[in-house]
Structure 1
């Protein structure tokens, strides 16, 4: 939880200091006021990457040498200080003044989940965003997951290198054995989490859409069902060598969403599609709290987009019910209607500066 957020020279935010409510924080302002940039800053603190760009130079305010983010953690700021800074090619992350041993630790220090107007792409795009979504939840539940994931990535890189270099082909069986060893725990953890996610998302979907549609998540482990991964890799060596990469394994894991057995596009409108993804994110938040005993931080960019008043009200009610700290953006507070909790805090931005707090 964020008690205070300080932003310097990030996007169009020259110097912003935000005292945060433990519940709902509404960030309002005109287009280009810096609302999404503020959410992006919080996301970076918990994920070490942007959800808007893969080019770090874009994040530094024009004319500045670096950007800096500082967060006081805990309901009253007593849980410590997290700081990130980027200066050219150098990225630093510190917790209470000490360098973090791994950027993956940011996800434990400040667990952050995100919903944007583009979140429907979680279901529409290829498997990578779904795998990231899945692995974030598994990482929070399974202390051994990161070690198995890293083993799998190392073995995958080595097998791919061997496929491309004839002199290394003899090493393939060894790296395949390592891939199999690492993939087993990954697969079991992911399968268990998908089952828990489906169960947690069903009531969220019913509340958001007022529907009896049955939600199922079809987990796909990344290689043919009923066949050991070792056999699949051995049989695929020649085809993988021609392709230049490993085509089967835990790095190909995915899941598909079904509603009464149908794809979401056949069962829901575009606005309802957004609420389906929201149900999955709210389920992630619920599972995190169940596992870790504390709420996460939810970021919601442009909540009113494509939702009518009734669905906006339901959505805000479900956000409040998570017990999470929530940051929501909208051009005007009135766009959310009369649904804001009494303890919500309203922050208004204009031209990259905080101009009002209510």
Structure 2
């Protein structure tokens, strides 16, 4: 009989209800067995809709459940570290939404708590578990693109509702924390290295105070990352990895559909109209299912966690450097 991990979910957050929980329920070794809200009726309603056996009216009750081995934490950014630490203290492993913390100092407190507990904490960058992103990294490592010296990333959407948590500056809202973090994480994933220095430019919403438009340039040991993210532009996503022999484009790099194939496009540039490009199409796969099972298998001891909490702290250091650079107007070192 296959061993499984029993997961509990802290809160009825939208991303959990609509994306992560249904996906994890399709997993081979992941079981979502409980959900908690600060309102019992809300928890019960969500549990009923999603077929989750247990509902709790407080997060503390969920953490006290001895049958739960791991916690998925999709709370707002300012609650990532406090409740992840509480989960660790209750003896639970944790998969926490990104970004892992509000800043590097807070990430360090989480690292210390993880070390004390001896448990697993993973940051929920689901894209790195997908076959299309793994293929891009393989193309780079195999030399199919030649020497990779540039990555360009765009990630934008339009959301100007001041009541949405993504637009609340005091709790870690804004474009860089919400979506710019993906550009940084995937560049670090592809280069297999940390940036040496960072230059950032930020435009803040005059009312909400959040960064509504952030662009950055980063120098890695072998190349550059340039990215733009925005919470107030027409929706767009694209990553282009450029080498001396060819480039590869990830067509829907971040919000990959769970019910349709995904594509990458490889182009050696011989035909500037793109007619020489070759597309690779991947079978339908839900990136949240893949992520959930990967973390569950690490919890079960089947293999080490590929992206431990140290990776999340490193990503946080780069985010902090972008913010510092936007304030100082100078290059900053993560």
TM over 0.5, yes or no?
no
- Normalised TM-score (structure 1): 0.27
- Normalised TM-score (structure 2): 0.28
Higher relative contact order (Cα pairs below 8 Å, separated by 6+ residues): 1
> In proportion to residue count, which structure has more helix?
1
